[in-house]
Chains A and B, each alone.
Chain A
Amino acid sequence: MSGIPVIKNGGALPLAHIPRLTPAEFAAMCKVRLTEGARLAACLAVPEGEGDTQLTLYAVLADDQGGDLLVIAQEPQREFISLTPRIPQFHLFEREIGEQYGVNFVGHPWFKPLRFHAPWQGDGDAWGRDAKVHPLIGDMDYFTVAGAEVHEVAVGPVHAGVIEPGHFRFQCYGEQVLHLEISLGYQHRGISRLLQGGPHPQTPMQIETMAGDTSIGHMSAYAMIMEGLGRTEISARAAALRAIALELERLACHVGDFGALAGDVGYLPTASFCGRLRGDYLNLTGLLCGSRFGRGLVRPGGVLFDLDAALAEKMRAALAPVARDTRGALELFFNTPSVLARLEGTGQVSARDAFYLGLVGVAGRACGFDGDVRRYHGGNVYEPDEVPVMIEEGGDVLARALVRQQEVEHSLEFLGRRLAALPAGALRVAPAPPAPDSLAVAMVEGWRGPVTHVAVTNQDGRFKRYQVVDPSFFNWSGLALALRDEQISDFPLTNKSFNLSYCGFDL
């Protein structure tokens, strides 16, 4: 099975260069590669022609150590044998494809709707529902546990706090949680379908708001897709400005998460300091582009806002006291035994489960799995030695907090360095039109983990299919497993240690 095309992050290749494997070859290839250290970055189905019921399956396998992306395809099928029993990383991708195209994955052990929308084409529905009617959200068989003392706790979609909606079902024996099932889809805005036939004039704004706390992450991935398809090189300056915004986004969110963790364990000094500091980081992004969330900064071909010497110095000067206060707030947090006692051993995910589910980002690194896109697929923005390995082994709330602490330290140091020495270059170059009949992959290490976009273009260079994989897509399953054998009262703390995106998952 040689001749499997390999591309780099942000690269594109003609569809004709991707060999169509038989289902057996496809399965074997995935099994071998994913056992040997690659991870499943994306998997999507594309109809052969408009409305065609034959679907070609594409998978992108990320070889992080080698910095390579393997793209494989399976010859068109109408029904699929599920790979999930052998390779659990496929479990949500198969449910997603099943829901989108009304196809079945035979042998899938947990085949349920994901986002509760009608199939995109045809009259087939994977669960035998009326394909012409919008399905009822949450209407599916939940995993249940039977027994005299067993009870079920259902929470959501509207739950306490200013927070996105989702539905959580706990199967409990007394206080002990035997299983947590998380059912989402409430935030589904139909983004994947809106992107079909694109890029449209609305596309950049929809990308920036698909997960609005990761605007820079998602928009950078989209820009890379467009640049990959157009073979457009952006300047070192534009790349550096994107990286600055990405690290500010990370700092704002991580610092906010420390505030939330501190609040949940009742440690108010750090909770209140971090609430303020989070806003200070957002305001720094506001200085750069006018929007606290980085809306309108990144566009295909570069960025829209420059940082002249005066503004860069202003940001550096504003960053210094914020960095000091952040370190002070974290030092208190990590030096308080009663805080550590609540974090240690809570919400633990085993390294084995993390591997099988393909956990990524903060949650994956807290289980010892690296795979930081900045480090392994960073291209020219991050020098190879610039991003250290930031991992922990514990897999618990404490480990996820410690990974964040390492990242905060790295981002602060990175910003200090980059703001002092911005490379020269054009702010933006006009991107060339996207190549027809091609596939492009882009990954950006957003604050939760790798944000992965895959585009497949048609003969006119329009999106035949545009897949978005937010890191939350993988990590919600990690949260579910983290709750096993815990107390239900540990859910808020564990949930905050993951802090996953509902809308990034629901799209």
Chain B
Amino acid sequence: MLKILRERWRQGYRTSEFPKVEPVLPERFRGLPVLRAEQCPADCRECESACPFGALRRVAGRVAVDLGRCLFCADCPACPHGALSFSADYRLAVRQRAELLYSGRELLLAAKLEKKMLSLFGRSLKLRQVSAGGCNGCEADVNVLGTLVFDLGRFGIQFVASPRHADGLLVTGPVTENMHSALLATYEAVPGPKIVIATGACAIGGGPFVGSPEVHDGLEGILPVDLFIPGCPPHPYTILDGLLRLLDKR
């Protein structure tokens, strides 16, 4: 017992001050893209074919990154003209799929839930996680929110074992054909009203596996999504930031 107390004292208090204090992320962290449209040669469309995941396109003359498709690759081949780099901004979660098409203007970060939903879930949100082809990257970064560093429980959010006890689903993975029916069955088992959170590039649009005949390229057309959290995988703070915005806690 004394040994436990001594070790507990040595390990110290480790819960982060988030959201009161902003987290310190590594210098090489790749977050919200920085677009320098002035670097784009006129009529250049190189980026549209250079990104193997189709994350870039020219929209009304401006280059735009689809954050739902972007994997934040270290060797992003998209632009040889230096118009694209990544910032350290980890806040990426939005409420609408279309808002993920980011052209350098301010990203419309997730708004809080509608009044009735917020009154139901604002102080207690129970989620069932479903991995539908996830690689264990997103799953690990969701799991870590339960550790003492993030202490998800202090925000009233908890992952539960049964969909019957849940207020919504947090889905990872590109929705494999082999998980399609299990995902739908799990969604059905959640009592309404319910929410769906798409976590990671796979769940949003298929991620690295977009176009594979064995996957459905994410949740689009399968389940209605209330929160999109981009990244491959998203940083735990990206996920937590999105969840807190949804519950009007940021």
A→B interface (CB under 8 Å): 115-117, 134, 137, 157-158, 160-165, 185-191, 193-194, 200-202, 205-206, 208-213, 215, 269, 272-273, 275-276, 278-279, 282-283, 286-293, 295-297, 299, 304-305, 324-325, 328-329, 331-332, 335, 501-503, 506
- Residue tally, chain B, CB below 8 Å to A: 68
Contact string against A for B residues 221-250, beta-carbon threshold 8 Å, 1 for contact and 0 otherwise: 000000000001101100000000000000
The stretch from B5-13, B59-67, B107-115, B118-126 touching chain A is B5-13
Contacts of A503 in B (CB 8 A): 133-136
Cβ–Cβ contact B139 & A188, under 8 A: no
Cβ–Cβ contact A279 & B149, under 8 A: yes
B→A interface (CB under 8 Å): 3-4, 7-8, 10-11, 14, 25-30, 52-53, 71-75, 77, 128-144, 146-149, 159, 161-163, 173-174, 176-179, 181-182, 185-186, 202, 207-209, 212-215, 232-233, 235-236
Which of B130, B146, B182 interacts with A275 by CB under 8 Å? B146
Cβ–Cβ contact A165 & B182, under 8 A: yes
Which of A162, A283, A502 interacts with B159 by CB under 8 Å? A162
Cβ–Cβ contact A209 & B135, under 8 A: yes
Given contacts A276-B149, A332-B3, A503-B133, contact A206 B182 (CB under 8 A): no
Cβ–Cβ contact B148 & A206, under 8 A: no
Bound CA–CA A278/B146 (angstroms): 12
Known contacts A116-B178, A162-B131, A212-B138; 6 further A-B pairs (Cβ under 8 A): A158-B182, A162-B139, A209-B137, A209-B232, A269-B7, A286-B25
Cβ–Cβ contact B140 & A189, under 8 A: no
Cβ–Cβ contact B74 & A291, under 8 A: yes
Given contacts A194-B209, A283-B26, A295-B232, contact A164 B136 (CB under 8 A): yes
SS of A interface (majority): loop
Cβ–Cβ contact A211 & B182, under 8 A: no
Contacts of B161 in A (CB 8 A): 160-161
Given contacts A206-B209, A291-B74, contact A134 B177 (CB under 8 A): yes
Which of A200, A210, A269, A328 interacts with B135 by CB under 8 Å? A210
Given contacts A190-B212, A279-B149, A295-B232, contact A290 B11 (CB under 8 A): no
Cβ–Cβ contact A190 & B186, under 8 A: no
Cβ–Cβ contact B26 & A275, under 8 A: no
Task: Give B180's nearest chain A residue, CB to CB.
Answer: A137
Cβ–Cβ contact B137 & A205, under 8 A: no
Which of B11, B136, B141, B186 interacts with A501 by CB under 8 Å? B136
